[in-house]
Structure 1
Amino acid sequence: MSNATLSDADRILRADEGAPAAGGAQPPAEPETGNDAEETAARTGRDGGGALRWGVVVIALLVVAVVGLGTWWSVQPDKFDVQANTEELLGADVSPVPGSAIVASAIKVADTLLHKPGGYLHNDMTPPGIIMDNMPSWEYGVLTELRDSVRSLRNDFSRSQSQSVENESLRKADSEFNFDAKAWFLPSAEQEYEQGIAALQRYLSAMAERDPQAQFYIRADNLAAYLQVVEKRLGSFGQRLSASVGDEELTAALSARPADRTPQEGQAQSTAAGTGSGTGSRTPWTEIDNVFFEARGYSWALLHMMKAIAIDFAPVLKDKNAEVSMQQVIRDLEYASMRKWSPVVLNGHGFGLLANHSLVLASYMSRANAAVIDLGTLLERG
């Protein structure tokens, strides 16, 4: 055999020895060195740490967005000009009619309730509305006054006597605004209240067209009936606000003027306070801000209604010498609905370091209540 043949045979044998057998297992891979293992672990750690950091950033952004929206939505809406609002709703070519300022103010209050920043939050089921309580409490205070005003429109202001037929639009509006404030699905409270606004707008349009079925009667007894409801609301809020400190004497002093109560009434009130009927019991600290903002919402809505009454009932107030009392009510409600700059509702006591926002608001509402009592007296006897 020649040398060339041997060389070829050697090459074939070497190739056969180096190649894996058909169907056999692959030769074991060489183990990673220490540097390769460290590099793989570092790369895995970097990937996991990056995902964690991105998750933290996303959560932080969501928290900031929720807190920011909640803060913005918690700002009390600005007050509006009652006279300008009436002219806007009636139109430039329509002259105001008796009662138009009151109805237009009720429409504007309801519209603000539904279309302020964040919309209507009392029935929200998603954040940030579901975790908010201050603005929903404010909304309920506004809704309370709106319901009282619409009920008075239906039962008193629009009827000449007790046997008069009620206005259909006002009946519809009263029914819609008394819908459950927390309803959120089929139908929602917003849908019902929108229908209530539409009913008030129909009544206002009919008044402007001098429709005989849409009358508004400017009489002292009608206004006195409405003020009796307001008096009770203000007295209730005064007691609830002053209960933030649980002081029975202070609560009794802020609830009504002692001169307006007979000894029997004073004894009855003292008895009620001693039995724990709500007068002498202290408001839980978790509910102090809710009561405060509900009273603020009621004061805000009542302020606009009183301004509208001062316009529509100007002849009656002048005839009864009640203009000063009406201005006193409006002035105290202006103070009660001023912007609150503190981020929290403080609940100090006495002459300590911290203020007590509830007692400050109770003082203004009690003064307004006293002025309402004087106003009602003048309407009856003036």
Structure 2
Amino acid sequence: MAWKSWRASRRRRKEEALERPRYGWIWKPVLALAGLYLLVSVGLGIWWSQPPAPFDVEQATLDRRGEAAYLPGARGTVTVATLATSVAILLEKPGGYLRNDLAPPGVWLDNMPSWELGVLESSRGLAQALPQMAGGDNADLETAREALMGDDRDWFYPATEQRLAQSLEALDRQLSALNDEDGGFAPGEGLADWLASLVARLDDLALRLAASVGSHEALIELAVDAEALPPGTPWHRVDNIFFEARGTGWALSQLLEGVQRDQDDVLREADVLAEWQGLLAELAMTQRQLWSPLVLNGSGFGIFANHSLVMALHMTRARDLAAHLAERLAEPPLASPEPATPDDDPVEAPE
């Protein structure tokens, strides 16, 4: 009887377990998967937040021209190829374009999306100047400009990535058209206006960086009028503006070098090559290694650095150099003296 009672009791326990199952065991694999997902997301976030290294503009031009790489190219070839490479890096770097991401880990990141904004704004500035540099209406350059001017956070069709790809295709078509040496850009055309737009861009960044600096004494060294500053930067957005400035410095370093390769004779004739190199050197200073894991806003000679203040200093110096270059290149070239004609009366030597 005891044995039958034990079997009946065991059967009842099995029936109760089937009728009222206990799911406590399922939390272990769920937590394990969630922990693994979090770990992978953090690792990808760290990897995706590393900015790309600067590229060689001449090698980038060779790569983008393909089979025509070793044939002579018209003026503007390096400029267009450099712009196209900058746009391509936004799409092809680790993680791709992150600024419009809606899912982790991209949605958690802010430094790299801010860096992307700096590169995109710099690319837009040159894309707007390219039709003038080309000396007239150009369908491919207009297409590239319009595609770059779209909303940088669009994720629905047409997403920002699609417009960047359209811009890249248009720039590559223009690059193919520049294989004809007779169809190049006009010498020096549009340079002054493009540099003037850089002045406005760099000045805006310098002011926004300075707005996060609490010390008015520090702003005096930058020749910044405290009353002209925008509203103070919230503490959680200080690093966004800093990395936007780093992205701007990264992109402008490449774009200015590309323009220099195409307009070297114009810069030499205007005697501004030294100032141009100085602007490149100032922008290169914005790319120095950031050893701190956080963007700090210390003061004076304290134990904490003031990264925004240092970046604002470089932006201000770059702005001043760009303004000087714009003024010099806007000046008309000096008229060369006309050679004497045979009809002119000879000048008699004094006795």
The TM-score with structure 2 as length reference comes to 0.84
Question: Match of 1:107?
Answer: 84
Q: Deviations over 1:55-101 (max 9, x none)?
A: 33322211111111011000000100011111222233322321111
Structure 1 range deviating more: 226-235 or 335-344? 335-344
- The answer on whether the counterparts of 1:243 and 1:251 sit within 8 Å (CA) in structure 2 is no
Which of 217, 224, 243 is residue 186 of structure 2 equivalent to? 217
Output the CA distance in 1 between the equivalents of 2:170 and 2:320: 34
User: Do the aligned partners of 1:87 and 1:96 also contact (CA within 8 Å) in 2?
Assistant: no
Q: What one-letter code is carried by the residue in structure 2 that aligns with 1:71?
A: I
The answer as to whether partners of 2:275 and 2:325 remain within 8 angstroms in 1 is yes
The amino acid of 1:126's aligned partner reads: A
After the TM superposition, list the runs of 4 or more consecutive aligned residues in structure 1 that deviate by more than 6 angstroms.
none
Deviation, 1:280, is 5.9
**Structure 2 equivalent of residue 136 of structure 1:** 113
| Residue number in structure 2 paired with 1:62 | 37
Name the amino acid aligned to 1:158: A
1:145-184 to 2 correspondence within 5 Å?
145-154=122-131, 156-159=132-135, 164=136, 166-184=137-155
Residue 214 of structure 2 corresponds to residue 246 of structure 1 = yes
Deviation of 1:363 after TM superposition, in Å, equals: 1.4
Give the drift of 1:255: 6.1
Q: Residues 202 and 363 from structure 1, CA distance in 2 versus in 1: closer, same or farther, beyond 3 angstroms?
A: same
Q: Which moved more, 1:137-146 or 1:343-352?
A: 343-352
- Contact 2:73–2:178 (CA under 8 A) maintained in structure 1: no
Decide whether the 8 Å contact of 1:296 with 1:337 is kept in 2.
Answer: yes
Q: Deviations over 1:184-209 (max 9, x none)?
A: 12211111110111001111111113
In structure 2, C-alpha distance between the alignment counterparts of 1:133 and 1:74, rounded to whole Å: 9
Q: Distance in 2 between matches of 1:189 and 1:63?
A: 27
Query: Is the 2:119–2:251 Cα contact (8 Å) retained in structure 1?
Result: yes
What per-residue deviation string (whole Å, max 9, x for no partner) do you get for residues 14-42 of structure 1? xxxx9xxxxxxxx966998xxxx9xxxxx
Give the aligned residue type for 2:190.
N
Identity score, percent: 37
Alignment partners' CA distance in 2, 1:125 and 1:211:
47
Select which of 157, 163, 171 maps to 1:186.
157
- Aligned residues between the structures: 322
Letter in 1 for 2:330: E
2-structure distance, mates of 1:144, 1:30: 78
- Report if aligned partners of 1:239, 1:254 keep a CA contact under 8 Å in 2: no
- Which of 169, 172, 179 is the aligned partner of 1:201? 172
Q: Tell me, what secondary structure is at the counterpart of 2:157?
A: coil
Counterpart of 1:317, as a letter, is L
Alpha-carbon distance in structure 1 between the residues aligned to 2:119 and 2:151: 14
- Equivalent position amino acid for 1:190 in 2: E
Note the alpha carbon deviations across 1:271-320, whole angstroms, 9 max, x for none.
xx43xx6x063211011011011111111111101111221111111111
Write the deviation string for residues 238-286 of structure 1: whole angstroms up to 9, x where unpaired.
1111211234564465367xxxxxxxxxxxxx5xx43xx6x06321101
Structure 2 CA distance, aligned partners of 1:151 and 1:171?
8
Q: CA separation in 1, counterparts of 2:127 and 2:327? A: 23
Q: 1:30 to 1:301 in 2, by over 3 A?
A: closer
Matched, 1:291 2:241: yes
Question: Could you say what secondary structure the match of 1:208 adopts?
Answer: coil
Please list every run of 5 or more consecutive structure 1 residues that lacks an aligned counterpart in the other structure. Answer: 1-17, 19-26, 38-45, 257-269
Instruction: Note if 1:97 corresponds to 2:74.
Output: yes
Aligned pair 1:366/2:313, yes or no? Answer: no
Q: Is the 8 A contact 2:249 2:287 kept in 1?
A: yes
Q: For the Cα contact (< 8 Å) 2:72–2:181, is it kept in 1?
A: no
Aligned residue number for residue 13 of structure 1: none
1:318 aligns with 268
* Partner SS state of residue 231, structure 1: helix
> Does the C-alpha gap of structure 1 residues 100 and 252 become closer, same or farther in structure 2, counting only changes over 3 Å?
farther
Partners of 1:238 and 1:254 within 8 A in 2: no
The one-letter code sitting in structure 1 at the alignment partner of 2:205 is F
C-alpha displacement of 1:53: 3.9
Cross-structure match for 1:15: none
Structure 1 residue 375 displacement after superposition: 1.7
Amino acid at match of 2:99: H
| 1:14 alignment partner in structure 2 | none
- 1:113–1:139 CA contact under 8 A, matched in 2: yes
Alignment of 1:328-339 (within 5 A): 328-339=278-289
What residue in structure 2 maps to residue 235 of structure 1? 203
| TM-score normalised by the chain length of structure 1 | 0.77
Distance 2:269 2:6 in 1: 108
Say which is worse superposed, 225-234 or 53-62, in terms of deviation.
53-62
Larger Rg: 1
Alignment correspondent of 1:8 = none
